[in-house]
Chains A and B, each alone.
Chain A
Amino acid sequence: MERSLFRFIWRNSRRQQLVVLVIIMLSLPFYFASFDIPKRIINDAIQGKAFSAPDAMVRFLEISLPLPDFMGGPINLTEGFMVTQLGLLWGLSTVFLVFVMINGAFKYYINVMKGVLGERLLRRMRFVLLDQYLRFRPEDIRGVKPSEAASIIKDEVDPIGGFAGDAFILPAFLSMQALTALIFILVQSFWLGLVAFFVVLIQAIVIPALRREQLRLTQMRQLESRKLAGRVGEIVETTPAIQVNGSGTYTRAEIGGRLATLFDIRVKLFKRKFAVKYLNNLLAQVTPFFFYVIGGYLALSGTLNIGQLVAAIAAYKDLPPPIKELIDWDQSRADVMVKYEQITAQFPATLLPEEDTSQSIGHPEEDVPLSISGLKVADKRGASLLDSLTLTIPRPGHIALVGSSGSGRDALARVLGRQTSYYHGKIAIGPATWAGPNHGRSSLLMTYAGQDPFLSSGSLKDNLIAPLRREPEDAVQATDAAARRRRLEAELSGTPAVAPDESWIDYRCAGVSSMDELDERILAVLDRTGLAEEVYRLGLRSKIDPASEPELVARIPAARELIFKNLAAKDLMHLVEPLDPDRFNQNATLAENLLFGRQIGARLTEGRFASDPYLRSILEAESLLFPLIEIGLSMAETAIEIFADLEPGDPLFARFSFISAEDMPEYQRLAEQARSRGNVSKLAMDGQARLIELALSYVEARHRLQLVTPHLRTRLLRARESFRRHLPRSYAADIEFYQPDRYMVSGTLQDNLLFGRVAFDAPDALNRVQVIARDSLRELGLDREINRLGLAHEVGPSGKFLQAEQRASLALARALLPKAAIVVIDGAFGPFSPSETAQMLTGIRAEMAGRTLIVSLSDIEQAATFDTALVFDGSRLAQSRISAPGDRKLAAVNMSSIVDISPERETSMELVQESRHAGQ
């Protein structure tokens, strides 16, 4: 990025700036003429100076080109025509109006051009900034706060973009305007011109000087705002930790302090800003005083006529605005230059090289070894993370890096995975070196899965196919005018011309040729990383819009029939309790049993449901109000007894409590009130509503508090009927009643497939039902659809909607999806147990057969079957076993740092070569 803002603007908009400048020049004669016409109207048309007698006529619109004699003398363009005094008044007034319109049109065009120019540069600048972030070295990008970067790209560059359009055009335009007006006044009267000139001079010198402090305060405010944005981002990300640590009060105080600083700066800014404004206005208003006094005196003394005085005053009226705007421009200039410098200063001295697909090392020959020579890695304080390492590893092969956390194992994995660029030494495959990562095609060569999965908002599939996205070689040519304009504008702004909605998926990279094949490969890879089952379950749990999936919805009844047929065949009908309009369902909530449906509208949402007047009237009519309050109270008391002494962040609390941690104090208060008053009817209405709301979430088979008596069931069924029968028409959009022959929009696909609830009291019921459902759906050819829905599951910002294991599995699958020559797995098994890791590793190794896999492991036993095993003790390579895949032939190894090998390790490792490091 250019270090100078003006250079950046000029380099990227030179041609457009010059076009606008030419247009400004063209506009000036019209602008000048618009000053002269009022003088002629007053002197010639009103005072009649052009007329020798009252009924005389003069020639109007006689236009000639005043060429000098050597060029042939003046040329008459029009002869004009004769008009009376009144005709001249009309004619000149009309010409004045025409000039006003022409000047307005010029202004309109120039302003639009300026705006477009500024927006184009803003677009370029935002793009360049993001591009720069994408080229940060891995170590540098970790130090960037995401919210600060977002604040810079979104907010801080905005005024710079606005200024970019004005950078050259505005001073040129305004200077010429001001100069025109000043020259005009000077032509009319030297003395008035001199007064105007001095006032302009004072404004141009004093005002900017006063504004310097204003500028300093603006910079301070920008820095403080950026810090605030960064801190707010951190607070949002660490809210759970703040809640658990009870540091919310301090956090609030800290933010309060930052807001106070911003407030103080703003107050100082206001004071300075309006003081300057006051002075500016004063100077602008004092000048007319001189004009009236001096101009009036000159007019009275006969050295200035009234027309000239009026024209000079009119011209002066047009002088302060451009001067004021020029001063404003100067302030903006200084302001945005500081902003620009602050933005560019945060970029590190070295960035990764620009993407260059032409120099990609691509797919190296399969049997070219990976050679490491003199590789050393140190941390920022100079402590060694990896001692000098030189070795050659045959490819393809499976390589285990073994060691404890923080040992040379991690440093080597990070270097090989291109997660650190600060190292000495050389890594190469044949003639191609590891340095200079080429992001454009890097997933063809190598993919990496580390401890942090780095997921983006979007679906599971969006995240999985990220490494397959390549700029399409045969991008669709823009055919319609809008597409062509879009592409041209992208080129003018220096942003990518290929739209993101074109086909960016490089199927070849995943070894497939179509989207269908890609989906199959995705599922195969997910199966290797243990996520395929979960994707299927997510598909079953997804909610679909029947209008967008009519074919799938149409097949649900047949699928349901087959699932129940298969359940019956295996004597497993008891695993699902069907939803029956005439029966109480003990695996459903009391709310579902009451409504025989689901709340979907705003009126019956959680928190408002129990206080809804219609529902309350039904509960009262069926004598259910107090039984439900009693149930809610029992649930509250049980939850208080069980969970009151657990921490709010306790996983058991989160999974099993009927009451959230935030609501616990409120329910404790309600329970105490109920106890002290001896009767729930004495509780306040909102307290009763809260307990009813809690009771309606009760599921007899799940919570097992034995709170639903046969009598209550009967009354609930009666209330169900009343609720539906008397439901006011205005509630129709707020509830979806269960109907077996209609797709439930509020329910999941599984709800619709089963039209019932899976039994809580049958062992492993959900899994068993899902297995049968899966077999049935496969039989009907619907399993592909379910997987498609599962892959469309939203992962949330940074994958927050997924569990840690799911995020890790997804990241591993993403690394495996492209058929990269080398896959590096560095601590990605963290969330898994050893048995899960072992199982996953088997699948991944099968997937990577014939290719190079590098895995960091902590257990030496897991490395026994790997072709190569490098064991690290601290930063030193302690043992190694290097062999070609399959035959385990010995391979060349040259280690510069070797230590003793313990006897028990020798038994599990086939030592190839060892030597003492010179210094040990």
Chain B
Amino acid sequence: MLANDVTSLQRIPMFKDVDTAKLKLIVLASQRASYRIGDRLLTEGERADTVFIILEGKANVMRNDGNGDVQIAQVESGAVVGEMGVVLDKPYSGTIIAETPVTVLRIDKRTFLDLLTQVPQFSLALIRELANRLLETSNLYVKALSR
């Protein structure tokens, strides 16, 4: 199982430059958990105390627009969610609900922050992921402006 999870992480682009030993550490320090269809992984507004790495399955990202939950995105295998709330010490900004059976690695806040400070390869991977997201958002913004 640990070996399988490590293999799953190796397939995720974000972790492609992280050593196998460090991936094993990430897996060992996390909890493998399964969610059924419709289960909530995390809820908007709740204290962000866990980061999720999705290994299998798909989940919908919902956000309350004042009139109810609206789907704003979908995440699937390879996605990391909940990390912004943990890093910023802010509540989760959205709700994530399993669209299919989902398997994740759950990393509690303390362990996640320890991984960031103690494992530079992990921090770099996360920075790269956040930078990619920023770039995508900027591109979307530019596109929206040019319309």
Give residues in A with beta carbon < 8 Å to B. 638, 641-643, 645-646, 650-652, 655-656, 703-706, 760-764, 833-836
* A244 nearest CB across to chain B (Å): 14
Question: What is the 8 Å Cβ interface bit string for chain B, positions 29-56, against chain A (1 contact, 0 not)?
Answer: 1011111000001000001001000000
Which B residues are CB-close (under 8 A) to A764?
33, 50, 106
Bitwise interface map of B from 5 to 44 toward A, beta carbon under 8 Å scored 1, else 0: 1000000000000000110110111011111000001000
CB distance from A574 to the nearest CB of B (A): 10
Query: Assuming A652-B111, A652-B118, is B24 touching A704 (CB within 8 A)?
Result: no
Residue in contact with A704 in the complex, picked from B2, B25, B91, B118, CB distance below 8 Å: B2
**What's the Cα separation between A763 and B33 when bound, in Å?**
5
What residue in chain A is nearest B103 (Cβ atoms)?
Answer: A761
Interchain CB contact under 8 A, B114 and A652: yes
In the bound complex, residues from chain A placing their C-beta under 8 Å from that of B89 are: 833-836
Which A residues are in CB contact (< 8 Å) with B133?
none
Q: When the two chains form the complex, which single residue of A652, A761, A834 contacts B29, counting CB atoms closer than 8 Å?
A: A652
Return chain B residues, CB-CB under 8 Å to A652: 25, 29, 111, 114-115, 118-119
Residues in chain A near residue B25, CB distance under 8 A: 642-643, 652, 656
Residues of chain A lying within 8 A (CB to CB) of residue B47: 835
Question: In whole angstroms, how far apart are the Cα atoms of A504 and B28 in the complex?
Answer: 50
Q: Does A642 lie within 8 Å of B28, measured CB to CB?
A: yes
Q: How far is the CA of A885 from the CA of B89 in the complex (A)?
A: 30
* Contact in complex: A761, B33 (CB < 8 Å): yes
With beta carbons under 8 angstroms apart, the residue of A642, A655, A762 that contacts B111 is A655
Q: Please give the residue numbers on chain B whose beta carbons come within 8 Å of chain A beta carbons, in ascending order.
A: 1-3, 5, 21-22, 24-25, 27-29, 31-35, 41, 47, 50, 89-91, 104, 106, 111, 114-115, 118-119
List, in ascending order, chain B residues with CB within 8 A of A655's CB: 29, 111
Q: Please tell me if the beta carbons of B115 and A763 are within 8 angstroms of each other in the complex.
A: no
B119 surroundings in chain A (CB, below 8 A): 652
Q: Which 5 A-B pairs have the closest CB atoms?
A: A763-B33, A704-B1, A704-B2, A833-B89, A835-B89
Inter-chain contact count A-B, CB under 8 Å? 65
Q: CA separation between A833 and B112, bound complex, in Å?
A: 14
Question: In the complex, A835 Cα to B111 Cα: how many Å?
Answer: 18
Hey, which chain A residues are within 8 Å of B114, CB to CB?
Answer: 651-652
Which of these, B24, B31, B41, contacts A760 with CB under 8 Å? Answer: B31
> Looking at the complex, which one of A646, A651, A704, A760 makes contact with B27 (CB distance below 8 Å)?
A704
A761 to chain B, nearest CB (A): 6
Residues in B with CB closer than 8 Å to A760 are 31
Measured between beta carbons, the chain A residues less than 8 angstroms from B118 are 646, 650-652
A763 touches B111 (CB 8 A): no
**Complexed CA–CA distance, A526 and B24 (Å):** 38
**Known A-B contacts A651-B114, A706-B1; A761 and B34 likewise in contact (beta carbons under 8 Å):** yes
A549 CB → nearest B CB, Å: 33
Contacts of A762 in B (CB 8 A): 33-34
Let me know if B2 and A761 touch, CB within 8 A: no
> Can you identify 25 A-B contacts, CB atoms within 8 angstroms?
A641-B24, A642-B25, A642-B28, A652-B25, A652-B111, A652-B118, A656-B28, A704-B5, A704-B32, A705-B2, A706-B3, A760-B31, A761-B32, A761-B33, A761-B34, A762-B34, A763-B33, A763-B35, A763-B104, A764-B33, A764-B50, A764-B106, A833-B89, A835-B89, A835-B90
Give A858 to B47 CA distance when docked, in angstroms: 22
CB distance from A527 to the nearest CB of B (A): 16
In Å, the complex CA distance between A175 and B91 comes to 85
Bound Cα distance A436, B21 (Å): 61
**A727 to B43 CA separation, bound complex (whole angstroms):** 52
Q: CB-nearest residue of chain A relative to B24?
A: A642
Tell me which residues across on chain A come within 8 A of B2, comparing CB atoms: 638, 703-706
From A803, which residue of chain B is reached at the shortest CB distance? Answer: B110
Task: Pick the contact of A656: B1, B3, B29, B32 (CB < 8 A).
Answer: B29
Q: Which of chain A's residues has its CB closest to B29's CB?
A: A656
- Taking CB atoms, residues of chain B closer than 8 Å to A706 are 1-3
Question: Shortest beta-carbon distance, A834 to chain B, in Å?
Answer: 5
Task: Please tell me which one of the listed residues A642, A761, A835 contacts residue B21 in the complex, with CB atoms under 8 A apart.
Answer: A642
Separation of A656 and B1 alpha carbons in the complex (Å): 17
| From B47, B89, B111, residue with most partner A Cβ within 10 Å | B89
Distance to closest chain A CB from B55 (angstroms) = 13
Q: How far is the CB of A576 from chain B (nearest CB, A)?
A: 15
A833 to B41, CA, bound (A): 23
A641 closest partner in B (C-beta): B21
- Please measure, in the bound complex, the distance between the C-alpha atom of A760 and the C-alpha atom of B28, giving whole angstroms: 12
Kindly provide the distance from the CB of A202 to the nearest chain B CB, expressed in whole angstroms.
76
Instruction: Tell me, rounded to whole Å, the shortest Cβ–Cβ distance linking B39 to chain A.
Output: 8
- Cβ-closest chain A residue relative to B22: A642
Contacts of B28 in A (CB 8 A): 642, 656, 703-704
**Nearest chain A residue, comparing its CB with the CB of B33:** A763
- A638 with B111: CB separation less than 8 A: no
CB distance from B101 to the nearest CB of A (A): 13
For the complex with contacts A703-B28, A704-B28, A763-B33, 7 further pairs of A-B residues with Cβ separation under 8 Å are A642-B25, A642-B28, A652-B114, A655-B111, A704-B32, A762-B33, A833-B89
Which chain B residues border A641 with CB–CB below 8 Å?
A: 21, 24
* Chain A residues in 8 Å Cβ range of B22: 642
Minimum C-beta distance from B118 to chain A (A): 6
